Amino acid sequence: MLLATGAALVARELTVTLTHRAWVVLLQLGGVVPPVVSLVVWTGAIAQGATPPVPPDRIVTWFVLVAVVSMVTSSWTAAFLAEDIRTGGLSIWLVRPCPALAHLVANNVAEKAVKIVVLLPMVAGLGVVFRAQVTLPRDPAVWLAAMAALVCAGILTFALDVLIGCLAFWFEDVEGVQSLVLLVQRLLSGAVVPLMLLPGPVQEALRFQPFRFTLSFPLEILTGSGVAERADWLAMLGWTGAAVAAVMLVWRLGVRRYEAAGA
């Protein structure tokens, strides 16, 4: 029953996403441009004699893959959830015979399925341009580990995003918090600059914070650190578990407080 409902919701979201094909294409182009700019800057600096702390091939591989990892682990739920809570739109999902967050999960999965189809050829093109410096892992175990880290990162990002959206049960406007978290996340996840390029003590200080596991960790596995240490995996699983548990708790408390029209 739950599986059929989930499949129906994903199918519905797929249809909606496919009606906005041009938007998806432009959006993915927007995801590829930042790493392209970084690639131009870094390869330019290296060509002029810059000596980064890690091999240049690893930096190039990072920037070629970052758009895909970033898209797969992204979440855009908070604003929509907050609006549903504020305007009472949540009510129709509370009375349906499926988990109230199911449609948000379905939206996340379906949109990513369409986006990946558009994004992969763009990233492959980028890989061809920089083929001499892109080094992908050959060991299937590394790919398996990266896939596992990607799934975990996706769940962690989604859970953190839902938590921000749930703040709307208590506050009227969560946009400020969302923007601030986004800024912090950009820096601490490695989206602005790969964490491996930061000074050693800073890297060590940032090693176990949650945002690293939303982007940097899967990329670190793919770009050369092999299967990461057990402590990193435990930290990622711990943060993901804690975030999902926090969502369940906050959701229960929030729904009790929910007072929109019809509640």
Partner 1 sequence: MSGRILRWWLACWRQAISRDLQFRTQTLLIALGAVVDVAISLVPALVIAQTARTAEGGWDEATAVLVVGLFTLATALLDAVIGPNLLRLDSAVRTGELDLLLIRPIPGLLALTLRWVRPAELTRLLVGAALVVGAFATADAAPTLGAVAGCLLLMGLGTVAWALFWVNASFLSFWWSSAEPAQQIVGALREAGQYPRAAFRRLPLLGFTTLVPSLLIATLPAQVLLGGELAGPLVGTAAVVGLGGGLTAVHWRLALRRYDSASS
Nearer to partner 1, 40 or 92 (CB): 40
Asked if residue 80 binds partner 1 (CB under 8 A), the reply is no
Total of residues contacting partner 1 (CB under 8 A): 35
Compute the least distance from the CB of residue 192 to partner 1, in Å.
6
- Helix (H) or strand (E) holding 190, with range, is none
- For the chain, the distance separating the N- and C-terminal CA atoms, rounded to the nearest angstrom, is 25
CA distance 186 to 251: 26
CA angle (80, 83, 86) in 5-degree steps:
155
Indicate which single residue of 144, 180, 231, 263 sits in contact with partner 1 (rule: CB under 8 A).
180
Asked if residue 132 binds partner 1 (CB under 8 A), the reply is no
Contact flags string 28-57 toward partner 1, x per CB under 8 A: -xx--xx--xx-xxxxxx-xxxxxxx----
Say if residues 157 and 247 touch (Cβ distance below 8 Å). no
CA distances from 250 to 87, 103, 163, 262 (A): 19, 18, 7, 21
Asked if residue 23 binds partner 1 (CB under 8 A), the reply is yes
What residue ranges bind partner 1 (CB under 8 A)? 20, 22-23, 26-27, 29-30, 33-34, 37-38, 40-45, 47-53, 173, 176, 179-180, 183, 186-187, 192-193, 197-198
